[in-house]
Chain A
Amino acid sequence: MTEYLQSTFLGPEIGWLVATLALILLIALPLMLAVAMIIYVDRKIIAAVALRRGPNVVGPFGLLQSFADGLKVFLQETIIPSGANKGLFLLAPIITFTVALLAWAVIPFSEEMVLANINIGVLYILAISSLGVYGVVISGWASNSKYPFFSAMRAAAQMISYEVSIGFILISVVLFAGTFNLNEIIKAQEGHIFGAVSAYGLNPLLFPMAVMFLISSMAETARAPFDLTEAESELVAGYQTEYSSMSFALFWLGEYANILLMCALNVILFWGGWLPPVDWEPLYAVPGIIWLFLKMFMIFFIFSWAWATVPRYRYDQLMRLGWKVFLPISIFWVFLVSGYVMIDKFGWPL
């Protein structure tokens, strides 16, 4: 598309700009639709675990529930507390939402369908996801209210804690694949297990990493059982307490866009991305994007499942898991993986 637009009357520079803008919209708009539907799926799964029906009134099977909620929120009045720091108060949800969308620029949906195929894709994701904490921290401070402030403090501590082990997990995958490019990482997984199954997650050396990454990504997105930032029994609604209307909805959308991003990252790093699960010729007839979405849905199901079954962690348990369990194990595993890669490449040193 970029080449085509550049060859028309627009010329190379303007053509590139128009094509990139169109591609950004092509990712962002379906993403919003996906977020609306995944909220519906989330509520349905949690309801099924609790033996309830879940949303079933608006539209067939309640499919339009999220859109009804969105419309309701859109028509509400935006209330700004008089003690709040007005500019920052309004900026915080915008930051959360923007950062959640930014990371999707490097996600490969199939071999060609990637907006920015940059050679530091993994680092870009790490950099952008480390920005996510600002929306929460700023909203907590700008609300000028004690519960949002507690929530912001918790969020800052929690996200920094789990980012450390996520970094080490990413490093071990990068060592295995030998590249920082997300597309190359997916290609390196082709037929990884016995030349048949395309997934790093089934490699015995990387399986513990896959499990830790799944749990860490739940903690990083502040998803239950790690949702201490919005623990309703202690902090009302956490950092969102003072928000209403669209500013609240932006938090909501950003949060779920982040969860979807983490699902996509799990799939790309450990479960073969857009590759079919088994390296068998007829399966390649199915477009890669379908495989990616199917796998993302499986990961999201685990997220919802954990939400519905696991009770919320205590704060000290959360910190213990991050610093005393995941961090030492992931550091040790980086040693193991790099040792294996060395031996695999250069043979035994003796």
Chain B
Amino acid sequence: MQIFAFYLFASIVIASGAFCIFARNPVHSVLWLILAFFNAAGLMLLVGAEFIAALLVIVYVGAVAVLFLFVVMMLDIDFAELRAGFMKNLPLGLLLALVLLAEIIFGIGAWSAGGMGEATAVVGPPAGGPSNIEALGTLLYTKYVFIFEAAGLVLLVAMVGAIVLTNRKRGGVRIQNIQEQVARRPQDATRNEQPEVGKGVEL
């Protein structure tokens, strides 16, 4: 059963990763990417890391990818222009591909040399011990508390930076003041007039 699930998830991850690159429409690319994320979460479940799997779905599929999709859908894409850039960026792309290929070959070489054999032997939390969430929480808030907080600080700085970059004063914006709107009564906005015949109302 687990073997079947592993090959199912793994093959979908690889296939959707490939489709993500080869899809002509960028929206399709993002959707394939989401499928890859989702199945990667399934792989995490198989190695017993259910907390990481849940985080992967919540953070990447549920938030990051939605924003990706949001932006890509709104882009006005000229396909001819995209093709034109292909030849220009080809050498750089080939270089990147070569580097990645070399890394994979080194990785497989190191693995077949037996260096990582022991590390991969332990799969999932030990039975009867604390669950993944408890173990992670204990580590994060005791041993690695300063690194954890530093990571939080980095994220905060990034957030403030993003707000500063996008927050510019624009003219002609009518800001809604909810208190004022709620406090408004009919007598503030209307009045009864009984104009004489042939005379209008002075507004």
Residue of A nearest to B1 (CB): A13
Chain B nearest CB, measured from A243 CB (Å): 18
* Contact across chains for A316 and B176 when beta carbons are under 8 A apart: yes
B97 contacts partner chain A, Cβ-Cβ < 8 Å: no
Chain A 143-185 near chain B by CB (<8 Å), digits 1 or 0? 0000001001100110110010000000000000000100000
Question: Hey, which chain A residues are within 8 Å of B159, CB to CB?
Answer: none
For chain B, the bracket of interface size reads 20 to 34
Given contacts A126-B58, A180-B133, contact A156 B66 (CB under 8 A): yes
Residues of A within 8 A of B176 (CB): 316-317, 320
Query: Which residues of chain A are near B74, meaning CB under 8 Å?
Result: 153
Report chain B residues within 8 Å CB of A317. Answer: 176, 178
Q: Tell me, rounded to whole Å, the shortest Cβ–Cβ distance linking A83 to chain B.
A: 14
Q: How far is the CA of A109 from the CA of B67 in the complex (A)?
A: 35
Chain A interface, >50% SS class: helix
CB distance from A205 to the nearest CB of B (A): 22
List CB contacts (< 8 Å) of A100-137 with chain B. Answer: 118-120, 123-124, 126-128, 130-131, 133-134, 137
In this assembly, does A274 line the interface, its C-beta being within 8 Å of a C-beta of chain B? no
Q: Which of B1, B50, B58, B73 interacts with A130 by CB under 8 Å?
A: B58
Check if A137 sits within 8 Å of B69, measured CB to CB: yes
Contact (Cβ within 8 A) A134 B34:
yes
For A167, give the chain B residue with the smallest CB separation: B58
- Given that A131-B62, A134-B34, A316-B176 are contacting pairs, would A141 and B54 also be in contact in the complex, using a CB cutoff of 8 Å? no
Chain B CB within 8 A of A334 CB: no
Q: A153-B70, A316-B176 are in contact. Are A130 and B54 (CB under 8 A)?
A: no
Total residues of chain A contacting the partner, CB 8 A: 29
- 0 or 1 for each of B65-106: is its CB under 8 Å from A? (1 = yes): 011011001100000000000000000000000000000000
Chain A residue with Cβ nearest B41: A127
- Given A120-B133, A131-B57, A316-B176 in contact, is the A163-B70 Cβ separation under 8 Å? no
Mark B1-40 against chain A: 1 for CB-CB distance below 8 A, else 0.
Answer: 1000000000000000000000000011001001000000
Q: B1: which A residues are within 8 A, CB to CB?
A: 13
**B58: which A residues are within 8 A, CB to CB?**
123, 126-127, 130
Complex Cα distance, B74 from A138, in Å, reads 13
A90 to chain B, nearest CB (A): 14
In this assembly, does B61 line the interface, its C-beta being within 8 Å of a C-beta of chain A? yes
> Which residues on B sit within 8 Å (CB–CB) of A156?
66, 69-70
- Chain B 162-183 against A: per-residue CB contact (8 Å), 1 yes, 0 no? 0000000000000010100000
Instruction: Provide a sorted-by-A list of 29 A–B residue pairs whose CB atoms are within 8 angstroms.
Output: A13-B1, A118-B50, A119-B131, A119-B133, A120-B50, A120-B133, A123-B51, A123-B54, A124-B54, A126-B54, A127-B54, A127-B58, A127-B62, A128-B57, A130-B62, A131-B61, A131-B62, A134-B69, A137-B66, A137-B69, A141-B73, A153-B70, A153-B73, A153-B74, A156-B69, A159-B66, A160-B67, A163-B62, A316-B176
Q: Residues of A with Cβ closer than 8 Å to B? A: 13, 88, 118-120, 123-124, 126-128, 130-131, 133-134, 137-138, 141, 149, 152-153, 156-157, 159-160, 163, 180, 316-317, 320
